[in-house]
Protein backbone atom coordinates (compact mmCIF):
# COMPACT_ATOMS: atom_id res chain seq x y z
CA UNK A 1 0.00 0.00 0.00
CA UNK A 2 2.78 2.41 0.88
CA UNK A 3 4.65 1.60 -2.31
CA UNK A 4 1.67 2.10 -4.60
CA UNK A 5 0.66 5.32 -2.88
CA UNK A 6 4.17 6.69 -3.22
CA UNK A 7 4.21 5.79 -6.91
CA UNK A 8 0.95 7.73 -7.28
CA UNK A 9 2.49 10.74 -5.59
CA UNK A 10 0.58 10.38 -2.32
CA UNK A 11 2.38 10.97 0.97
CA UNK A 12 0.79 8.46 3.36
CA UNK A 13 1.46 8.24 7.09
CA UNK A 14 -0.23 5.02 8.16
CA UNK A 15 -0.89 4.10 11.75
CA UNK A 16 0.42 0.57 12.11
CA UNK A 17 -1.04 -1.80 14.70
CA UNK A 18 1.28 -4.76 15.19
CA UNK A 19 -1.43 -6.91 16.77
CA UNK A 20 -4.24 -6.37 14.26
CA UNK A 21 -4.34 -7.27 10.54
CA UNK A 22 -5.06 -4.80 7.75
CA UNK A 23 -8.77 -4.42 7.04
CA UNK A 24 -10.52 -6.19 4.18
CA UNK A 25 -13.71 -5.65 2.23
CA UNK A 26 -15.92 -8.09 0.29
CA UNK A 27 -17.59 -6.58 -2.77
CA UNK A 28 -20.56 -7.91 -4.72
CA UNK A 29 -21.30 -6.21 -8.04
CA UNK A 30 -24.53 -6.97 -9.90
CA UNK A 31 -25.73 -4.97 -12.87
CA UNK A 32 -23.21 -2.25 -12.11
CA UNK A 33 -24.53 -1.69 -8.57
CA UNK A 34 -22.46 -2.80 -5.59
CA UNK A 35 -22.82 -4.03 -2.05
CA UNK A 36 -19.98 -4.03 0.47
CA UNK A 37 -19.19 -5.97 3.62
CA UNK A 38 -16.24 -4.44 5.45
CA UNK A 39 -13.98 -5.89 8.11
CA UNK A 40 -12.23 -2.78 9.42
CA UNK A 41 -9.66 -4.59 11.60
CA UNK A 42 -6.66 -2.28 12.06
CA UNK A 43 -8.53 0.64 10.52
CA UNK A 44 -10.76 0.54 13.60
CA UNK A 45 -7.81 1.01 15.94
CA UNK A 46 -6.59 4.48 14.98
CA UNK A 47 -5.63 6.73 17.89
CA UNK A 48 -5.32 10.50 17.88
CA UNK A 49 -1.88 10.12 19.50
CA UNK A 50 -0.60 9.18 16.05
CA UNK A 51 -2.01 12.38 14.59
CA UNK A 52 -0.46 14.44 17.40
CA UNK A 53 3.06 13.19 16.65
CA UNK A 54 5.22 16.12 15.61
CA UNK A 55 6.05 14.77 12.15
CA UNK A 56 2.39 14.06 11.38
CA UNK A 57 0.94 17.23 12.85
CA UNK A 58 3.49 19.21 10.85
CA UNK A 59 1.69 18.00 7.73
CA UNK A 60 -1.58 19.27 9.15
CA UNK A 61 -0.02 22.66 9.76
CA UNK A 62 1.33 22.72 6.22
CA UNK A 63 -2.02 21.90 4.58
CA UNK A 64 -4.48 24.53 3.40
CA UNK A 65 -7.42 22.22 2.67
CA UNK A 66 -8.69 19.24 4.64
CA UNK A 67 -11.02 16.44 3.63
CA UNK A 68 -12.15 13.70 6.03
CA UNK A 69 -14.67 11.00 5.17
CA UNK A 70 -17.61 10.65 7.56
CA UNK A 71 -16.72 6.99 8.06
CA UNK A 72 -13.86 8.10 10.32
CA UNK A 73 -16.47 9.26 12.85
CA UNK A 74 -16.87 5.60 13.79
CA UNK A 75 -13.17 5.28 14.65
CA UNK A 76 -11.60 8.47 15.97
CA UNK A 77 -13.94 11.45 16.24
CA UNK A 78 -11.43 13.19 18.49
CA UNK A 79 -8.91 13.16 15.62
CA UNK A 80 -11.49 14.77 13.35
CA UNK A 81 -12.28 17.38 15.98
CA UNK A 82 -8.60 18.24 16.37
CA UNK A 83 -8.21 18.98 12.66
CA UNK A 84 -11.58 20.71 12.37
CA UNK A 85 -10.91 23.10 15.24
CA UNK A 86 -7.39 23.79 13.95
CA UNK A 87 -8.76 24.59 10.47
CA UNK A 88 -11.29 27.04 11.91
CA UNK A 89 -8.66 28.71 14.10
CA UNK A 90 -6.25 29.18 11.19
CA UNK A 91 -8.79 30.11 8.48
CA UNK A 92 -8.21 26.96 6.46
CA UNK A 93 -10.87 25.03 4.52
CA UNK A 94 -12.33 21.95 6.18
CA UNK A 95 -14.50 19.58 4.16
CA UNK A 96 -16.33 16.38 5.02
CA UNK A 97 -18.67 13.74 3.63
CA UNK A 98 -21.90 12.40 5.12
CA UNK A 99 -20.56 9.07 3.76
CA UNK A 100 -23.47 6.73 4.61
CA UNK A 101 -27.00 6.77 6.06
CA UNK A 102 -25.90 4.78 9.12
CA UNK A 103 -23.40 7.50 10.01
CA UNK A 104 -26.23 10.03 10.18
CA UNK A 105 -28.33 7.61 12.24
CA UNK A 106 -25.94 6.01 14.70
CA UNK A 107 -23.12 8.54 14.96
CA UNK A 108 -25.33 11.60 15.11
CA UNK A 109 -23.68 13.17 18.17
CA UNK A 110 -20.17 13.02 16.74
CA UNK A 111 -21.43 14.28 13.37
CA UNK A 112 -23.27 17.20 14.97
CA UNK A 113 -20.20 18.13 17.01
CA UNK A 114 -17.97 18.51 13.95
CA UNK A 115 -20.55 19.96 11.54
CA UNK A 116 -20.12 23.57 12.73
CA UNK A 117 -16.52 23.42 11.50
CA UNK A 118 -17.31 22.00 8.05
CA UNK A 119 -17.05 24.45 5.13
CA UNK A 120 -18.08 21.99 2.41
CA UNK A 121 -20.46 19.11 3.11
CA UNK A 122 -20.67 16.34 0.50
CA UNK A 123 -23.25 13.58 0.27
CA UNK A 124 -25.73 11.77 -1.93
CA UNK A 125 -29.51 11.98 -1.97
CA UNK A 126 -30.02 8.93 0.29
CA UNK A 127 -27.63 10.27 2.92
CA UNK A 128 -29.24 13.72 2.72
CA UNK A 129 -32.73 12.31 3.25
CA UNK A 130 -31.56 10.20 6.19
CA UNK A 131 -29.93 13.29 7.73
CA UNK A 132 -33.25 15.11 7.32
CA UNK A 133 -35.21 12.27 8.92
CA UNK A 134 -32.84 11.99 11.87
CA UNK A 135 -33.18 15.71 12.57
CA UNK A 136 -36.95 15.75 12.21
CA UNK A 137 -37.05 18.10 9.25
CA UNK A 138 -39.99 16.25 7.68
CA UNK A 139 -38.87 16.81 4.12
CA UNK A 140 -37.43 14.52 1.47
CA UNK A 141 -36.77 17.38 -0.93
CA UNK A 142 -33.02 17.29 -1.55
CA UNK A 143 -32.85 20.99 -2.40
CA UNK A 144 -34.53 21.94 0.88
CA UNK A 145 -32.29 19.58 2.85
CA UNK A 146 -29.15 20.96 1.18
CA UNK A 147 -30.14 24.51 2.17
CA UNK A 148 -30.85 23.46 5.76
CA UNK A 149 -27.46 21.73 6.05
CA UNK A 150 -25.71 24.79 4.60
CA UNK A 151 -27.45 26.97 7.19
CA UNK A 152 -26.37 24.83 10.15
CA UNK A 153 -24.54 27.13 12.63
CA UNK A 154 -20.87 27.73 11.88
CA UNK A 155 -18.03 27.81 14.41
CA UNK A 156 -16.00 30.06 12.14
CA UNK A 157 -17.26 32.91 10.01
CA UNK A 158 -14.30 32.87 7.64
CA UNK A 159 -16.10 30.73 5.08
CA UNK A 160 -19.77 30.14 4.45
CA UNK A 161 -20.86 26.51 4.32
CA UNK A 162 -21.62 25.01 0.92
CA UNK A 163 -23.56 21.75 0.62
CA UNK A 164 -22.98 19.52 -2.41
CA UNK A 165 -25.39 16.61 -2.95
CA UNK A 166 -25.06 14.13 -5.81
CA UNK A 167 -28.06 12.19 -7.11
CA UNK A 168 -26.70 9.51 -9.40
CA UNK A 169 -27.78 10.33 -12.93
CA UNK A 170 -29.86 13.29 -11.72
CA UNK A 171 -28.42 16.82 -11.35
CA UNK A 172 -25.94 17.73 -8.62
CA UNK A 173 -27.46 20.06 -6.02
CA UNK A 174 -25.33 22.87 -4.56
CA UNK A 175 -26.67 25.06 -1.76
CA UNK A 176 -25.11 28.27 -0.43
CA UNK A 177 -26.39 31.58 0.91
CA UNK A 178 -29.93 30.19 1.10
CA UNK A 179 -29.98 29.49 -2.63
CA UNK A 180 -29.73 26.31 -4.69
CA UNK A 181 -28.10 25.66 -8.03
CA UNK A 182 -28.29 22.42 -9.97
CA UNK A 183 -25.74 21.03 -12.42
CA UNK A 184 -26.54 18.32 -14.97
CA UNK A 185 -24.62 15.06 -14.94
CA UNK A 186 -23.02 13.68 -18.11
CA UNK A 187 -25.40 10.92 -19.26
CA UNK A 188 -23.94 7.40 -19.40
CA UNK A 189 -25.60 4.59 -21.36
CA UNK A 190 -26.52 1.72 -19.03
CA UNK A 191 -24.42 -0.72 -21.02
CA UNK A 192 -21.32 1.31 -20.09
CA UNK A 193 -22.00 1.14 -16.36
CA UNK A 194 -19.55 -1.42 -14.96
CA UNK A 195 -19.18 -0.78 -11.22
CA UNK A 196 -20.44 2.07 -9.01
CA UNK A 197 -17.70 1.47 -6.42
CA UNK A 198 -15.92 4.71 -5.65
CA UNK A 199 -18.31 6.97 -7.55
CA UNK A 200 -18.92 9.26 -4.59
CA UNK A 201 -15.28 9.40 -3.56
CA UNK A 202 -14.26 10.06 -7.15
CA UNK A 203 -16.70 12.95 -7.33
CA UNK A 204 -15.21 14.51 -4.20
CA UNK A 205 -11.68 13.99 -5.55
CA UNK A 206 -12.52 15.70 -8.81
CA UNK A 207 -14.31 18.52 -7.01
CA UNK A 208 -11.40 19.09 -4.62
CA UNK A 209 -8.87 19.06 -7.47
CA UNK A 210 -10.42 22.29 -8.73
CA UNK A 211 -11.31 23.77 -5.35
CA UNK A 212 -7.67 23.83 -4.26
CA UNK A 213 -6.94 25.75 -7.46
CA UNK A 214 -9.64 28.25 -6.43
CA UNK A 215 -11.78 27.46 -9.47
CA UNK A 216 -15.49 28.43 -9.43
CA UNK A 217 -18.06 25.96 -8.08
CA UNK A 218 -19.31 25.03 -11.53
CA UNK A 219 -15.81 23.90 -12.51
CA UNK A 220 -15.48 21.93 -9.29
CA UNK A 221 -18.75 20.13 -9.99
CA UNK A 222 -17.79 19.50 -13.61
CA UNK A 223 -14.53 17.87 -12.52
CA UNK A 224 -16.36 15.83 -9.90
CA UNK A 225 -18.86 14.56 -12.47
CA UNK A 226 -16.04 13.72 -14.87
CA UNK A 227 -14.13 11.72 -12.26
CA UNK A 228 -17.17 9.72 -11.12
CA UNK A 229 -18.20 9.12 -14.74
CA UNK A 230 -14.80 7.61 -15.47
CA UNK A 231 -14.63 5.38 -12.39
CA UNK A 232 -18.07 3.78 -12.88
CA UNK A 233 -17.03 2.59 -16.33
CA UNK A 234 -14.23 0.49 -14.84
CA UNK A 235 -14.05 -2.46 -12.49
CA UNK A 236 -12.96 -1.45 -8.99
CA UNK A 237 -11.67 1.97 -7.97
CA UNK A 238 -9.35 2.41 -10.94
CA UNK A 239 -8.52 5.08 -13.48
CA UNK A 240 -6.82 5.19 -16.86
CA UNK A 241 -3.17 6.19 -16.69
CA UNK A 242 -3.86 9.68 -18.02
CA UNK A 243 -7.08 11.68 -17.59
CA UNK A 244 -8.56 13.61 -20.52
CA UNK A 245 -10.34 16.23 -18.42
CA UNK A 246 -10.02 19.70 -19.92
CB 244 within 8 A of CB 162: no
- Our answer to whether residue 201 is catalytic in this structure is yes
Work out the end-to-end distance of the chain between its first and last CA atoms, rounded to an integer number of angstroms: 30
Q: Which of 49, 109, 177, 201 is catalytic?
A: 201
DSSP 21: P
Cβ 165 vs Cβ 172: under 8 Å: yes
By CB neighbour count within 10 A (0-12 exposed, 13-18 middle, 19+ buried), where does 120 fall?
Answer: buried
Give the C-alpha distances (Å, rounded to integers) separating 183 from 18, 23, 210, 215: 46, 36, 16, 16
| Active-site residue set | 201
Amino acid sequence: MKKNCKLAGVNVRYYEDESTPTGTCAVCVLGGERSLVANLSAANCYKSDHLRKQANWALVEKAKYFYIAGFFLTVSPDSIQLVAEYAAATNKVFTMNLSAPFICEFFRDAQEKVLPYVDFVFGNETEARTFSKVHGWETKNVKEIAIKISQWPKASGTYKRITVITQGEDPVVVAEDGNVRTFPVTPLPKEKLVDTNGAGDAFVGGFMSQLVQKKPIEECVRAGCYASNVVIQRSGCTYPEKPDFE
